[in-house]
Amino acid sequence: MKVTVNRKAHFNAAHRLYNSDWTDARNATVFGKCANPNYHGHNYELIVSVKGEINPETGFVMDMKILKALIETEIEAEFDHKNLNVEVSEFKTLNPTAENISVVIWNKLRPNIDKNLELSITLYETPRNFVTYTGD
Amino acid sequence: MKVTVNRKAHFNAAHRLYNSDWTDARNATVFGKCANPNYHGHNYELIVSVKGEINPETGFVMDMKILKALIETEIEAEFDHKNLNVEVSEFKTLNPTAENISVVIWNKLRPNIDKNLELSITLYETPRNFVTYTGD
Amino acid sequence: MKVTVNRKAHFNAAHRLYNSDWTDARNATVFGKCANPNYHGHNYELIVSVKGEINPETGFVMDMKILKALIETEIEAEFDHKNLNVEVSEFKTLNPTAENISVVIWNKLRPNIDKNLELSITLYETPRNFVTYTGD
Amino acid sequence: MKVTVNRKAHFNAAHRLYNSDWTDARNATVFGKCANPNYHGHNYELIVSVKGEINPETGFVMDMKILKALIETEIEAEFDHKNLNVEVSEFKTLNPTAENISVVIWNKLRPNIDKNLELSITLYETPRNFVTYTGD
Amino acid sequence: MKVTVNRKAHFNAAHRLYNSDWTDARNATVFGKCANPNYHGHNYELIVSVKGEINPETGFVMDMKILKALIETEIEAEFDHKNLNVEVSEFKTLNPTAENISVVIWNKLRPNIDKNLELSITLYETPRNFVTYTGD
Amino acid sequence: MKVTVNRKAHFNAAHRLYNSDWTDARNATVFGKCANPNYHGHNYELIVSVKGEINPETGFVMDMKILKALIETEIEAEFDHKNLNVEVSEFKTLNPTAENISVVIWNKLRPNIDKNLELSITLYETPRNFVTYTGD
């Protein structure tokens, strides 16, 4: 009897899309206004999903209080009110697209969650653009 | 050509998290303010998802009017404006976590839905905490 | 140049609608399933609105960090994961309808907010039922 | 490392549910008020989901600007502010249920998206009724 | 102590924007794709707001069960799954813009609500376009 | 018969809160993480509200197509995917708090809207923080 529990969190950050191997002109062509060197930003909405067996004693797959605290420590403390390109080490050499951010978040959370639990990340960059990464 | 049809419903209920095999102190430690013996409550948002072949005559996987009525009879009439611990028989011996409520709802709906259709339940306890159960 | 700043918060609570001067039968007639003596509950969404002049030094009408902390101390700590009828003193003799809860919240916040600022409360009992109180 | 990128779009359209092989009486019995011969309508919310490998140069699974433009050309230009039964050729002989609309949208988008990418469609007919089609 | 109570409802309808005193060409110029003679449609979201004194016996400004039933009888039964231009008498000579629909709804509800209560209507035609009418 | 018409729009921008008359230490004390010199950002949701008489010929207070185009030209083209502090002239000497941004938007739109129409601005900085400015 496997259930998926989902916890929503959020962080506000600045970023720009940029490939440092390319000229500025090519960055502007490919990424358009998202390449603005002065940055823009988003209210990122994050859903962390954990799937596993229900513990018969607690009725929990994973204690939401623990998951909430983990997201605060590992993700919000690192990303909230930050400039992703400048202040988050993973994005010094990786373009902070929604796709790449979701993979980085998955990689940061995975070691902190029981191996018997499956982990999946959904990240809203705007209410109209969002991505999902399941580790596959 | 399989399509999933989803119907949203809702019910407002009181509950507390509580394991009757434990001392009050342990309940308070594990469940925190959710163990309050005077209860608290939620606006539960429920999504019932049914997957199957489209009937070529109707264009329906399942008539939403029938699914809506089924949710009203089986779930809303039993859960809405109720105290889950006190008034819903399944939770007299089962802790009414979101995980367990989703399994109970799945079990109540499954016998009423065509065997050729797959059933999945998503339950929002709050806008930030929700669970999914697919019967696996 | 007066601007209204609004801060959303939330609390989950149990309640029942009940007039202690009435018989149980009359309570049941008037309040229907909301009078259930075993309680039901809601995810209350609260919007606190404060209107006033922009401080030219900060650009703030009121520092949102201070307003957020005030709502946590005065309202969430008192109401969240509580049984309003049993555990919140104001509702021992006052029926905890959305209307009355909004007035109680206004009265609790008013003394803590600068007299030059206007205060208004919006309270969602469900996504379909909500009330507004401006102190008039 | 496969990620799903999702883009929301919308269109407003009139339709009625109707099987031309049936009598009007049977249409009224099966489809109820949805069979109204004068039509009714909806704000359809559409989510187009595309799953595949992240391109290491761009950090994109698929450029959202291209996906947005494709939805505008293939779907919004055909469906928005239209009468689905009268003006969209696919529904001259196919009942425009949410299920069938999602399949038609999938079929219209599939040839325009790289074969290495998986495509899935979610369509909200109302905030309470929605469907998903993955091409299986 | 005046509180505003708000109740959300909804109806799905077809309409077109059209001034019968104008040529088709002028209708097309002014109303664009909204003038499509085959109609389009919307999920209208309606908020009915009623302001007045709290009744000290009930704690209600107006019983939400009564307001909900009134909206069902007066508005939803008349508008839901209808073609506004063809089937709602008020719009035979009045263009069913969101502005005019809100005035018609206000006029239909006003005689059914206590004179001591103020009435206001908010109508969402789409999530991005909405109107408010207070009777002034 | 005055009706308010409301149009939602949005823009994504980077900003920081900063008073150039203060030391960095005082900026950090007052504005906390919002003062981060590397910037952070938001998905701003904007509601522009225009109140006036319904034109009896069109049924419009103001043509939403014109209002939408005006917001695109005056606000979105100036603010979207920009760094407010660096690239928007008004904020070179004015702290880009939500309060101040709402006043700047009101001032930019007011000359472009008929004098007989009242204008009001609501700006969401996050789903939990928003402001309203009516020009008073």
- The active-site residue, picked from D53, D76, D81, D87, is D81
User: Do A41 and F80 count as a contact with CB atoms less than 8 A apart?
Assistant: no
Amino acid occupying residue D44: Y
The fraction of chain A above a pLDDT of 90, given in percent, is 99
Residue F91: other Cβ atoms inside 10 A: 22
| pLDDT one-digit tens code per residue, D28-46 | 999 999 999 999 999 999 9
Amino acid occupying residue D18: Y
The fraction of chain D above a pLDDT of 90, given in percent, is 99
Closest approach of C106 to chain E, Cα-based (Å): 11
C10 is catalytic: no
- The active-site residue, picked from C34, C76, C87, C118, is C34
CA distance A18 to A35: 6
Which element (helix H / strand E) includes B123?
strand B118-126
A99: CB partners within 8 A, 6+ apart = A131, A133, D3, D5, D54, D59, D60, D61
**Pair of tokens at residue E15:** 């309409």
Please list the pLDDT of chain C residue by residue as tens digits (136 residues).
899 999 999 999 999 999 999 999 999 999 999 999 999 999 999 999 999 999 999 999 999 999 999 999 999 999 999 999 999 999 999 999 999 999 999 999 999 999 999 999 999 999 999 999 999 8
Which residues of chain F register pLDDT less than 50?
A: none
CATH (domain of E16):
3.30.479.10
| pLDDT one-digit tens code per residue, B12-46 | 999 999 999 999 999 999 999 999 999 999 999 99
| pLDDT one-digit tens code per residue, A11-50 | 999 999 999 999 999 999 999 999 999 999 999 999 999 9
User: Do C95 and E59 count as a contact with CB atoms less than 8 A apart?
Assistant: yes
pLDDT of residue F34: 98
User: By three-state DSSP, how is residue D35 classified?
Assistant: helix
| pLDDT one-digit tens code per residue, D57-111 | 999 999 999 999 999 999 999 999 999 999 999 999 999 999 999 999 999 999 9
Q: Count how many domains chain C has.
A: 1
Partner residue facing C129 (CB), from E7, E57, E58: E7
Closest approach of D86 to chain E, Cα-based (Å): 7
What is the complex's ipTM, to 2 decimals? 0.96
For residue D28, the enclosing domain spans: 2-133
User: If you count residue pairs, one on C and one on F, with CB atoms under 8 Å apart, how many are there?
Assistant: 55
CA distance F72 to C134: 34
Q: Which chains touch D (3 or more CB pairs under 8 A)?
A: A, B, E
The fraction of chain E above a pLDDT of 90, given in percent, is 99
Closest approach of B70 to chain D, Cα-based (Å): 15
Which residues from A are below 8 Å from B when comparing CB atoms? 1-9, 54, 57-61, 63-65
Q: Which chain D residues are closer than 8 Å to A131 by Cβ?
A: 3-6, 61
Partner residue facing E99 (CB), from F7, F8, F61: F61
| pLDDT one-digit tens code per residue, D46-70 | 999 999 999 999 999 999 999 999 9
pLDDT of residue B66: 97
Q: Which chain E residues are closer than 8 Å to C136 by Cβ?
A: 1-2
pLDDT of residue E23: 97
| pLDDT one-digit tens code per residue, B71-121 | 999 999 999 999 999 999 999 999 999 999 999 999 999 999 999 999 999
Q: Which chain E residues are closer than 8 Å to F8 by Cβ?
A: 127-129
User: By three-state DSSP, how is residue D88 classified?
Assistant: coil
Closest approach of B99 to chain A, Cα-based (Å): 6
Q: Which chain C residues are closer than 8 Å to E8 by Cβ?
A: 127-129
User: By three-state DSSP, how is residue B50 classified?
Assistant: strand
Q: What is the 3-state secondary structure (H, E, C) of E17-85?
A: CCCCCCCHHHHHHHHHHHHCCCCEEEEEEEEEEEEEECCCCCCCCCCHHHHHHHHHHHHHHHHCCEEHH
Q: Which chain C residues are closer than 8 Å to E4 by Cβ?
A: 131-133
| pLDDT one-digit tens code per residue, E33-89 | 999 999 999 999 999 999 999 999 999 999 999 999 999 999 999 999 999 999 999
- Distances E52 to A34, C131, E55 between C-alpha atoms, Å: 50, 11, 9
User: Do C3 and F131 count as a contact with CB atoms less than 8 A apart?
Assistant: yes
